[in-house]
Structure 1
Amino acid sequence: MIEDIITGIPLGIFLSFLVGPVFFVLLETSAVKGFRAAFVFDIGVVLADILFIAVAYFSSYRLIQSIKNDPAIFIFGGIMMLTYGIISFLKLKKVSKNIDEIAVEELIKKNYLSLFFKGFFLNFINVGVLLFWFMILITIGPKLELDTMRMITFFSTVLLTYLIVDIGKILLAKQLRNQMTPSNILKIKKVISILLVIFGLVLMFQGWFPSDQKLVKKALEKIE
């Protein structure tokens, strides 16, 4: 068990610093809305990861392979993320016209349920996350002898480490709250919206150019 825990810690740290839409939105949420809001957002992200791990573990090889070979899945996820980013940016552009009349409290309103689903949604629509967990499963699974308890220990360690490191990131980003004027908050939110658009386009390109998924293909071929 100790060996499985030690194996899972580095992966959890790596996962926490993996740059993607969730990474940037987490930091923005902490800086703008505070620790609790960012933590709730992160719990939503982790729940999506747990769901993906369960799907990777219980689903058949054929199901995962069909997802990998279906570009429509990536394109759909990319369109969802792209649309979310564009709508957010347009809303912020409209708000910026009345920036002088807006109080900081209005910009940092907290709806914890909404933040939870936002974290879950941003992670869930990225099909690449499912493929990532599947690659981890087929790489680590044989080393853990496919023992259920050892698998639970390993993946629990990974997610717990991920969450602990994220708490550190949240606390660091929270230090910027004193500089969160309405103007600065809007600028940060606009940058995050643009990044979501970019990540959405990247996800769509993965569907249009499936050759970029060679790493997944090689991993799958090993277990055929």
Structure 2
Amino acid sequence: MDFYDFKNAFLIGFFMAFMIGPVFFMLIQTSILKGARAAIAFDLGVILGDVTFILIAYYGSRSLLEKIKDDPRLFFIGGLVLIIYGLITYFDRQNKKEALESAEIIDVPIKSNYVKLFLKGYFLNFINVGVLAFWLGTVLVIGPTLKMNENAIFWYFATIILGYSVTDLGKILLAKQLKNKMTHLVIYRLKRIMGIILIVCGVFLMLKGFIPNEKIDSLIH
């Protein structure tokens, strides 16, 4: 995996960490109420949930990927998934109060129990089918792009998880500042920005299926 792929993968992880939802608020809430260690335990559970989804998406679609890895329609499908996910994110008007109420369904014990927090992070993330859809779309696009090289695919997704983890660690350490800044207007704008980014990425991937790689590379570089 070259530096360009590493940078792209890290940025995907970075932006994923700012996807607004129950996990986002639960992480901040746990950090404020129980401290950084408790929040890290919760976040490790969330990350394991993502790893589980990646494995399901990859091995569940591997035979399909092998058959159509050179088919431009693959990029169209992957791009369409990202566009739909982006539109859902863009038009989702769930406010901060509703998101916090969703997060509060998972009870935080008075005394920090790291194992319970880990499991709560895992299951809160795992029950979100939208996360699986996102990873499936990503796997469908990245796999053929990396020529189905298992080593390259492993390091690409490991880098995404690294970017996600590093950004989450920063959120944990800056939880109080983030909490104060998470007004309804800020959340609304963040969702719209993330939605636009996903839509643009989806359009780009759809075009990639019909534009020669040489032309795309010349435009990027």
User: TM-score, normalized by length of structure 2?
Assistant: 0.57
Change (3 A) 1:46 1:192: farther
Tell me which residue corresponds to 2:40: 35
Contact 2:16 2:164 survives alignment (8 Å): no
From the superposition, tell whether residues 124 and 199 of structure 1 become closer, same or farther in structure 2 (CA, over 3 Å).
same
For 1:214 and 1:107, locate their aligned partners in 2 and report how far apart those are by CA, in whole Å.
45
The CA deviation string for residues 149-206 of structure 1, in whole angstroms up to 9 with x for no partner, is: xx5x776566556545543332222111122446625455323311332134225524
Aligned residues: 190
Asked if residue 130 in structure 1 is aligned to residue 128 in structure 2, the reply is no
Whole-angstrom distance in 1 between the partners of 2:160 and 2:174: 22
How far the C-alpha of 1:214 sits from its partner, in A, is 3.7
Mapped partners of 1:107, 1:12: distance in 2: 34
Q: Select between 206-215 and 196-205 the one with higher mean Cα deviation.
A: 206-215
Q: Distance in 2 between matches of 1:48 and 1:217?
A: 33
Give the TM-score taking structure 1 as reference length: 0.56
Equivalent residue number for residue 197 of structure 1: 195
Give 5+ residue unaligned stretches, structure 1. 1-6, 97-103, 142-150, 219-224
Name the SS of the counterpart of 1:91 in structure 2. coil
- Which structure is higher in helix share? 1
**Contact kept? 1:12, 1:160, Cα under 8 Å:** no
In 2: Cα distance, 1:120 partner to 1:78 partner:
14
- Find the aligned partners of 2:50 and 2:168 in 1 and give their Cα distance: 14
For the 8 Å contact 2:79–2:202, the answer to whether it is kept is yes
Q: Counterpart of 2:95 in 1: which secondary structure?
A: helix
Correspondent of 1:25 among 19, 23, 42: 19
Please state if 1:120 is matched with 2:118: no
When residues 31 and 204 of structure 1 are mapped into structure 2, their CA distance, relative to the original with a 3 A threshold, is same
Q: Secondary structure at the match of 1:120?
A: helix
Moved more, 176-185 or 104-113: 104-113
Looking at structure 2, the residues matched to 209 and 184 of structure 1 have their Cα atoms a distance apart, in angstroms, of 35
C-alpha distance in 1 between matches for 2:53 and 2:215: 23
Change (3 A) 1:49 1:123: same
Are the counterparts in 2 of residues 56 and 134 from structure 1 also a CA contact under 8 Å? no
1:69 CA drift (Å): 5.1
State the 1:79 CA deviation.
1.9
Does the CA-based 8 Å contact 2:70-2:144 persist in structure 1? no
CA contact (8 A) 1:42 1:163 kept: yes
Structure 1's 136 and 25: CA in aligned 2 closer, same or farther, altered over 3 A? same
Cα offset for 1:15?
A: 2.5
Structure 2 unaligned regions, length at least 5: 31-38, 107-119, 217-221
Shift of the 117–82 alpha-carbon distance from structure 1 to 2, 3 Å rule, reads: farther
Measured after TM superposition, the shift of residue 211 of structure 1 is 5.8
Name the residue aligned to 1:54: 59
Aligned partner of 1:3 in structure 2 is: none
Larger Rg: 1
